[in-house]
Amino acid sequence: MTNNSEIKYFEGFNSPNQMKLQSGQELGPITIAYETFGKLNDSKDNAVLVCHALTGDAHVSGENGWWDFLIGPNKAIDTNKNFVICSNAIGGCKGSTGPSSKDPKTGKPYGLNFPVITIGDMVQAQKALIDELGIAQLKMVLGGSMGGMQAMEWSIMYPKRVKACTVVASASKLSPQALAFDAVSRNAITSDEKWAAGNYAHDEPPEKGLAIARMIGHITYLSNESMNKKFGRKLQKKEDYSYDFSTDFQIESYLKYQGDKFVNRFDANSYLYISKAVDYFDLTKKYGSVEKAFKNTNCKFLVIAISTDWLFSPKQSKDIVKALLKQSKEVTYAQIDSPFGHDAFLIESTQMTSLVQNFLNQVK
Shortest Å, Cβ 21 to a copy of itself: 8
Indicate if 78 belongs to the active site. Answer: no
For 200, residues 6+ apart whose C-beta sits below 8 A from its C-beta are: 194, 206, 268
Q: Return the number of the residue (78 or 153) whose C-beta is nearest a copy of itself.
A: 153
Question: Which residues of the shown chain bind a copy of itself in the complex (CB under 8 A)?
Answer: 23-25, 112, 115-116, 173-177, 179-181, 183-184, 186-188, 190-193, 208-209, 211-212, 215-216, 219, 222, 224, 227-228, 231-233, 241, 243-245, 247-249, 251-252, 255-256, 259, 272, 276, 279-280, 282, 285, 310
User: Catalytic residue at 342?
Assistant: yes
CA distances from residue 150 to 51, 126, 183 in whole angstroms, order as listed: 7, 10, 21
Catalytic residue of the set 182, 192, 309, 343: 309
Q: Which of 197, 203, 202 is nearest to 113 (CA)?
A: 197
Burial (CB count <10 Å: 0-12, 13-18, 19+), residue 201: exposed
**Bridge partners of 336?**
306
**From 87, 96, 145, 338, the catalytic residue:** 145
Buried b (16+ CB within 10 A) or exposed e, 306-343: bbbbbbbbbebbebbbebbeebebebebbbbebbbbbb
Instruction: Find the shortest distance in angstroms from Cβ 179 to a copy of itself.
Output: 5
Report the 10 Å Cβ neighbour count for 252. Answer: 15
Whether residue 311 contacts residue 182, with contact meaning beta carbons closer than 8 Å, is answered with: no
Residue 123 neighbours by CB under 8 Å, 6+ apart? 150, 153, 154, 157, 158
Q: How far is the CB of 356 from a copy of itself (least distance, A)?
A: 29
The CA-atom distances, in angstroms, between 13 and each of 103, 127, 134, 288 are 14, 12, 17, 29
Least gap, CB of 205 to a copy of itself (angstroms): 13
> Minimum distance between the CB of residue 143 and a copy of itself, rounded to whole angstroms?
22
Closer by beta carbon to a copy of itself, 194 or else 326? 194
Tell me the C-alpha distance between 177 and 185, whole Å: 12
Our CB check for a copy of itself shows the closer of 108 and 315 to be: 315
Handedness of CA 96, 99, 103, 108 (dihedral sign): negative
129/222 with CB nearer a copy of itself: 222
- For a copy of itself, the closer of residues 233 and 364 by Cβ is 233
Q: Which of 52, 59, 218, 342 is catalytic?
A: 342
Calpha distance 53→61 (Å, rounded): 14
Q: How far is the CB of 354 from a copy of itself (least distance, A)?
A: 30
> For the chain, what's the residue count?
364
For a copy of itself, the closer CB: 103 or 282: 282
Per the annotation, the verdict on 131 as an active-site residue is: no
Active site positions, annotated: 145, 309, 342
